[in-house]
Structure 1
Amino acid sequence: MIKAFISVTFSLISASLFSQNMAMSGAEAKAFVAKISSETKEIKTLQSDFIQTKKMDFLDKNIVTYGKMSLKSPNMLSWKYTKPYQYSIVFKENKIFINDQGKKSSVDAKSKTFEKINKLIVGSSNGNMFTDPEFSVTYFKNNNSNIAKFTPKSAQLLKYIKQIELQFLKNQSVVSQVNMTEASGDTTHIMFKNTKINAQIPASDFSL
């Protein structure tokens, strides 16, 4: 019994350590950035289904939503939530266009917290995210992914965003997960799946 307990405990500890994120060396980070920057130059469009999980301190349960993300170079991006409610956000021409279950509106995209995520998502499709002057970047790796963590440089932005993390599956050049931690401690986790690169995107994806 004791041997079995020790064996199970050791296995759990080993698994935890094995999956732990490790900082990339300078050479590894340089090679990773060069690879992503080179391969993403060929991306003109990107489509993906997503699952978004929002954790807020004042709620007992996480908020889970489903939808589709569409990106068209150089700066058009839409998030269309389909479940459990319908809600669309389109970023284009430095504006945010919103359709909240039939109620449409638009606002200036500048200085909006979510706009910073979208800027990095767009940048991840052309390699420009690593040179964004608003963030300092650190690089990590684990068994499955390469990870870039973006920390705001300005005190103003730090009032809203503590960190944004982009994960890339090994041997892939598109973002597989986004993790954002707000200054309040609330977190947003977005997982992408069924990603299509350079497929034709109908104009309706960027309209409300």
Structure 2
Amino acid sequence: MKHRLILCMILLTLVPVFARGQNRAQAASPEEIIAAIDRSASSLRSLRCDFVQTKELSLLQDRMVSQGVMYYRQAGGQLRWEYRTPYRYTFVLNGDRVMMRSDGRTDVVETSANRMFREIARMMMSTLTGRCLTATSDFDIRVRAEKGLWIAELTPRRREMTQFFVRVNLCFDPERQLVTRVEMVEAGGDRTVIELKNVQRNATIDESVFAID
């Protein structure tokens, strides 16, 4: 269960940066915003960023903050999502293999033999290519410009996703041309916020980052 929830959060941060040409957020229509994402996806080869994740528990009025780093490379469908503080957890997707490492234990899964991870791989590619904003079988989508930001509100349609969250807001900075914040609201009122920092698009990433052993 823990792995599946973490993977859902990973997927929802992987929306590509926007294409150039939209300089004023308030002037963009929903159709223009989605078209900009689609144009940008074709030139996205790699991505590296730091992230800060804040989990807000509604019943306990408590906050749990963790930090880490994410690497993505289009060639071979490679992804590394790594929590570094206050605990260590690493998820690596490399082609048709997945590795999860936590507390000294390493698990390796072949996606071809596991339905859940096949779906994860499919959704990852859908998100990275921007198709998540047009894949109506996965989400109901509302896109708007608000207070200098572009905001995509995603409501999941698939039952396996609704058990983890009821709504996701993706917040984009059009001037910097990237997604900067993901807000995930769960059915019980808990909220997870992921802020992306130090984003490097199309940076050179060593193959060893995605090694599975």
Shorter chain as normaliser: what TM range?
0.7 to 0.9
- SS of 2:204 mapped into structure 1: coil
1:131 aligned to which of 131, 134, 147? 134
Q: What is the identity, as a one-letter code, of the residue corresponding to 1:158?
A: T
Q: Tell me if the contact between 1:54 and 1:187 (Cα under 8 Å) persists in the aligned partners.
A: yes
1:152 to 156, 160, 167: 156
CA 1:138–1:110 in structure 2 vs 1: closer, same or farther (change >3 Å)? farther
| Match of residue 99 from structure 1 | 101
SS in 2 for 1:85: coil
Instruction: State, as a whole percentage, how many aligned pairs show the same letter.
Output: 26
Shift of the 160–83 alpha-carbon distance from structure 1 to 2, 3 Å rule, reads closer
Which deviations, in whole Å up to 9, do the C-alpha atoms of 1:142-163 show, x marking residues without a partner?
A: 2231011111123443233201
| Alignment counterpart, residue 190 of structure 1, candidates 186, 191, 194 | 194
Equivalents in 1 of 2:156, 2:31: separation in Å?
21
- How far apart are the structure 1 equivalents of 2:99 and 2:143? 33
Contact 2:50/2:69 (<8 A) preserved: yes
Instruction: Name the structure 2 match of 1:81.
Output: 83
Change (3 A) 1:205 1:159: same
The answer on whether the counterparts of 1:94 and 1:110 sit within 8 Å (CA) in structure 2 is no
**Whole-angstrom distance in 1 between the partners of 2:106 and 2:60:** 27
Larger-Rg structure: 1
Residue 110 to residue 175, structure 1, CA distance change in 2 (3 Å): farther
Higher relative contact order by CA 8 Å / sep ≥ 6: 1 or 2? Answer: 2
Report the counterpart of residue 9 of structure 1 in structure 2: none
Q: How does the TM-score come out when normalised to structure 2?
A: 0.73
Number of aligned positions between the proteins: 181
Q: CA contact under 8 A between 2:29 and 2:144: conserved in structure 1?
A: no
Instruction: Name the counterpart of 1:32.
Output: 33
Give the residue type in structure 2 aligned to 1:159: Q
Whole-Å Cα distance in 2 between the matches of residues 204 and 164 of structure 1? 32
What is the TM-score of this pair, normalised by structure 1? 0.74
Alignment of 1:110-125 (within 5 A): 110-111=115-116, 115=120, 119=123, 122-125=125-128
Q: Say if 1:97 and 1:180 are closer, same or farther in 2 by CA, change over 3 A.
A: same
Distance verdict in 2 for CA 1:123–1:195, change over 3 Å: farther
After superposition, what is the alpha-carbon deviation per residue over 1:169-192, rounded to whole angstroms, capped at 9, x for unaligned? 023443211111122322111000
Deviations 1:66-105 (A, max 9, x none): 1101111163222111112221112344654211132111
Cα distance change on mapping 1:197 and 1:86 into 2, 3 Å: same
Equivalent residues of 2:132, 2:138 under 8 A apart: no
Is contact 2:132–2:139 with CA below 8 Å preserved after alignment? no
Q: Any idea what the Cα deviations from partners look like across 1:105-159, whole Å, max 9, x if unmatched?
A: 14567548xx49x936x54542222122211100122223101111112344323
